[in-house]
Structure 1
């Protein structure tokens, strides 16, 4: 991928994928809570006509490449690799840019009002619908109550290492706070890398004895696979259990090449399914013999 192609990848799509919180729209501008820090008042603006951003809190702006370099703290070569591997499907060349209004997809600053043990029947039924073991879920997931635009909401929350929460329920998939990965340390010499907490819960539902055998690294966003080297360098075995879609396959191959000799692709544990949770929904644990 060259620089011109990279600059034509939609900034808004990248921001959506990393879980940035959209606050409001005004004509051709979209305002977000800055993905570079915690804040309650939006100071990060994207001009969708020019596909550029400006962060008023830092006095810094630029194009798609500039954003990726700043967000992932990498040089231009690595930024192009990230864009090619994770965001190339978001190119907006030859597309018509929509006109946005104040009524389009409004989101105000959020506030987390409480974090507690899972007990809401609606959320428990949501987890049951995904065939996840509730007692296992209660060890790692929370019931998070929050407000957006003065309206109250609740969801299943999974905490990341930057104190953000991945929020899920039947209707919502958002991140409150900074998008980051979650590292669960059992003092093991091996680590299992997964894309989402639901895959982690599904893996332990299928193989409960594995819970303390390995460490676990849940990316919470596939784009964060380029940020995990400081965590993974200590392991002698790395098991990759990413999604079986195109993006997951590209990331898997990239990581296999990087960690030759100590990494393994274990997606054959969930054949004919996009991920482990989908496999769990379609299949029962009976007959599954191979374990990590």
Structure 2
């Protein structure tokens, strides 16, 4: 146990240096860096002491949690990796900072939210083959600052009032990571992973906008938060990604939501052979 505690207390900056991850020091012992687990042009992950916090996903943890996230491995493998590299690290306990303190130190500021009309953002959405009129109903322009640098992007609002932000160069969340429930009062709901898939499925099947409700997870991890939404629907249609994580989650969801009062279906056959609905839309329109 003492060994595990030592590993948890390895200063994050030492791990970043070992992994050759470039970090920018903003204040004493506070560093920012780009997430290795996604493409991004702006550093959206902050570390201080032995803690990190990913503002793109609204998640974080200690040094062991970071290794788990960075390499997509489990706890045992992360501990083994840190033990193998132990000679490279200082085990002096860093100054402790609570997770809540790390989150309270706000890294971003939203300057303006307005209707979608910026041609740069519209061109980005068109490159995804998304119907612009549909986009204008559900998306906005968000002008924001991260580390005092100004940016703008397409914004998709969550049920917590936070925003998923996308543009040609960035993929992040401003505020708490949460899901978006499009509640139109229907008895059937479609569950998708991203707002681009949500817009894509309406682009492909316009009639479903007026016959279905929608739940956009914004992160597969949100599946653990949505029971109170899904329990009220007699029919639940899952259109998660066609990857290992999406397949495993779909299987679990079908078992969970096929009950006496509800039925669930996996509708990924609609975009079979493609990673997600938007990828299928891109293929279909490119090959018309």
TM-score w.r.t. structure 2 length?
0.68
Secondary structure (helix, strand or coil) at the match of 2:184 reads coil
CA distance 1:186–1:108, change in 2 (3 Å): closer
**Superimposed CA distance per residue, residues 66-87 of structure 1 (whole angstroms, 9 cap, x where no aligned partner):** x9xxxxxxxxxxxxxxx9xxx6
Structure with bigger helix share is: 2
Greater gyration radius: 2
- Tell me which residue corresponds to 1:72: none
| Alignment partner of 1:133 is 2:131 | yes
- Give the CA RMSD over aligned residues: 3.7
- Tell me which residue corresponds to 2:222: 224
- Tell me which residue corresponds to 1:235: 233
| Alignment partner of 1:94 is 2:94 | no
| Alignment partner of 1:244 is 2:242 | yes
Provide the C-alpha distance between the structure 1 equivalents of 2:237 and 2:132, rounded to a whole number of angstroms.
Answer: 25
CA distance 1:213–1:158, change in 2 (3 Å): same
What's the CA shift for 1:237?
A: 0.3
What's the CA shift for 1:284?
A: 3.6
Secondary structure (helix, strand or coil) at the match of 1:240 reads strand
* Match among 159, 176, 179 for residue 178 of structure 1: 176
Q: Is the 8 A contact 2:129 2:285 kept in 1?
A: no
- Tell me which residue corresponds to 2:281: 280
Q: Is the 8 A contact 1:144 1:155 kept in 2?
A: yes
Size of the aligned set, in residue pairs, is 225
Provide the C-alpha distance between the structure 2 equivalents of 1:117 and 1:171, rounded to a whole number of angstroms.
Answer: 21
Secondary structure (helix, strand or coil) at the match of 1:128 reads helix
CA distance 1:142–1:89, change in 2 (3 Å): farther
| Alignment partner of 1:123 is 2:121 | yes
Q: Is the 8 A contact 1:23 1:108 kept in 2?
A: no
| Alignment partner of 1:268 is 2:269 | yes
* More displaced stretch, 275-284 vs 88-97: 88-97
CA distance 1:198–1:30, change in 2 (3 Å): same
What's the CA shift for 1:149?
A: 2.0
- Tell me which residue corresponds to 2:97: none
Provide the C-alpha distance between the structure 1 equivalents of 2:109 and 2:254, rounded to a whole number of angstroms.
Answer: 40
What's the CA shift for 1:271?
A: 1.2
Provide the C-alpha distance between the structure 1 equivalents of 2:287 and 2:244, rounded to a whole number of angstroms.
Answer: 28
What's the CA shift for 1:220?
A: 0.3
TM-score w.r.t. structure 1 length?
0.67
1:185-200 map, 5 Å: 185-200=183-198
CA distance 1:62–1:179, change in 2 (3 Å): closer
CA distance 1:64–1:236, change in 2 (3 Å): farther
Structure 2, unaligned stretches of length 5 or more? 13-22, 34-45, 54-59, 90-104
What's the CA shift for 1:30?
A: 5.5
Q: Is the 8 A contact 1:28 1:47 kept in 2?
A: yes
- Tell me which residue corresponds to 1:15: none
* Match among 168, 172, 183 for residue 166 of structure 2: 168
* Match among 193, 205, 208 for residue 207 of structure 1: 205
Provide the C-alpha distance between the structure 2 equivalents of 1:239 and 1:266, rounded to a whole number of angstroms.
Answer: 6
1:43-58 map, 5 Å: 47-48=49-50
* More displaced stretch, 213-222 vs 257-266: 257-266
Secondary structure (helix, strand or coil) at the match of 2:210 reads coil
What's the CA shift for 1:27?
A: 9.3
Provide the C-alpha distance between the structure 1 equivalents of 2:157 and 2:164, rounded to a whole number of angstroms.
Answer: 6
